[in-house]
Amino acid sequence: MHAIYARLAVYKASCGCLGRVKPVSRSAPHTLDKDSTAWTKTPPLQGKVMAFTKDTRVQLSDGHTMPVLGLGTYAAKTVPKSVGEEATKVAIELGYRHVDCAYIYGNEVEIGRAIRAKISDGTVKREDIFYTGKLWCRFFSPDMVRKALEKSMSDLQLDYLDLFIMHYPVSIKPSGPEIYREDDEIYAYDNVDFCSTWEVLEACKDAGLVRSIGVSNFNRRQLERLLNKPGLKYAPVCNQVECHPYLNQKKLTEFCKSNNIVVVGYSVLGSHRDPNWVDLSTPVLLEDPILIAIGKKYNQPAAVVAMRYVLQLGVVVLAKSFSPERLKQNLQVFEFELTAEDMKTIDGLNKNLHYGLFLIMKDHPEYPFHDEY
């Protein structure tokens, strides 16, 4: 704790937490194309991030584009599903065009209904929305992959998904519990090779059920194995991972960029503090005095500073909120740019702290978080 306040004192002395914001000419995560709506694929770390807007999209390796800001829709079981449904409608009205969900969240029916409602009332067209779904670990067996995708499509009532990703690199047996609870037996580990799962995802893309395919929570070693798979037809367009100032994922991001894989960050605000998934003794990111001080400099809350930091790392930001006020507030991420000094200061907060370690799977041979990155 003393170290944190020492860094805070140095930061205040060097730049003044309430000082004038100075424009910078630091390199940005990706350049923008001429119409400022999509990141170009190469070269990385070029251009100015201030050009980002809520309409900015990153270009994926397969030619499709993904909005750089997305709405996360996970919620604890204590939150009524209708709350997420209404929040999704509000988000779309505010200009969000990227919606991230998953089968295991148990709310694809409601999220799909919200999307279709905003299409029906003319707020958006289907092609304006970028929807990400996830293949849960119990459906990795090749004969179950397409069925799982079609289940999500049916629940959502969408003709295709924009992106479908493997939720984790681990597989569990369909006969065991679907999601861990304290009163459940332990997950029944399976040994499905995710490379065989990937082949079916490639076929689903060819069939037009999904436009892009990717992965989530893969470490470097697992990504290398997939990229080096004999007969690989499509490389993963993205790797969705936990990313925030306490876990900035710089090494993994550098590797992904070198292989034209977009990094998408979840839990950018720290964590949802769900005791089923998170150790509640871990520090609360948004209470960090460094982030609060930097926020005062820009007249922004710590949450928006954390989002902007991740964005300037070259990572697509997923931010979950069901509050209309905070959904609107999160769009302030496009109203300012962190200086090079600010970025360096926030870099110093990195602790390689995973809030979501998924420890119930720690003995699985494909558990991703034993590796450094």
Q: How far apart are CA 368 and CA 363, in angstroms?
A: 10
Count of positions (residues) in the chain: 373
Helix (H, G, I), strand (E, B) or coil at 59: strand
C-beta atoms surrounding 135 within 10 Å: 28
Buried b (16+ CB within 10 A) or exposed e, 142-176: bebbbebbebbbebbebebbbbbbbbbbbbbbeee
Half-sphere exposure of 132 (CA within 13 A, CB side): 30
- Residue 57 has phi, psi (to 5 degrees) of -125, 145
Q: How far apart are CA 346 and CA 8, in angstroms?
A: 10
Q: Which of 105, 131, 187, 266 is catalytic?
A: 105
105 is catalytic: yes
Nearest to 308 by CA among 64, 99, 21: 21
Nearest to 309 by CA among 347, 257, 348, 262: 347
Q: How far apart are CA 109 and CA 250, in angstroms?
A: 35
C-beta atoms surrounding 83 within 10 Å: 14
Q: Can you tell me which residue has the tokens 């989002």?
A: 307
CA-based angle 112:181:74, to the nearest 5? 25
Cβ pair 71, 333 in contact under 8 A:
no
Q: Which residues participate in catalysis according to the annotation?
A: 105
